[in-house]
Amino acid sequence: MIIESGFGLHLYLFHDSTDRESWELRIACLDERLQPVHFGRLAEKFEGSLDVHADAIRDAVRRESVRYFAVGHRVADCYPGRDLDEFYDSERLVVAELEAEGFTFLGQQTHDTDGWSSSGPMHRFESYVDGDKFPRVLVIPPPHPFAECACAACGPRNARWAAARAENPRATS
């Protein structure tokens, strides 16, 4: 599954009614191809600041292959027009540290029984004009000649196969 929007992240973080009724702090980690690498519970309850949960966030994000991450939790009231300064204040330190290491934070998502909000993108990542840091989904139409195609999707795989064949001419894959 490819996650290509803030709403996709939201559904991944809170995919059923049990998740939606929980007060847990959750995390979703994606690789450079927007494939989920890790997701799960960081804490039984969000304590008002991500910095309180910094060690758990670092442990989850610093796993192999993680490039993007988002966190989410339930709030009592997630009304439209909510002052997002509380998001930015609560996520400032640990997120800045991880972004300095090359990870990209896709926002802190909250939900209540009626709706959801995010300090990051809510729609398709590619729809944000100033969203150069957000991931993009690349679609390359066929045809793709087997073992010869050099497009962005096939090229890396074909290069690996060519290297393996150079090492062992009898290699079949």
Identify the structural domains of the chain with CATH numbers, from first to last: 6-127 (3.40.140.10), 138-173 (no CATH)
Q: Is the peptide bond before 169 cis (omega within 30 degrees of 0)?
A: no
H or E element in which residue 159 lies: helix 155-167
pLDDT in tens, 91-126: 678 888 999 999 988 888 887 777 777 777 766 666
Q: How confident is the model at residue 171 (pLDDT cuts 50, 70, 90)?
A: low
Q: If you search the block for the tokens 């959750």, which residue do you land on?
A: 26
Hey, what are 163's tokens? 């290297």
On whether the CB atoms of residues 29 and 69 are closer than 8 A, the answer is yes
Band of pLDDT at residue 46, cut at 50, 70 and 90: confident
Instruction: Determine the average pLDDT of the residues in 2-7.
Output: 68
pLDDT, residue 85, reads 58
Prediction pTM value: 0.67
What is residue 121's predicted lDDT score, i.e. its pLDDT? 72
Interatomic CA distance for residues 142 and 147, integer angstroms = 14
User: In the predicted model, what is the mean pLDDT of the chain?
Assistant: 76
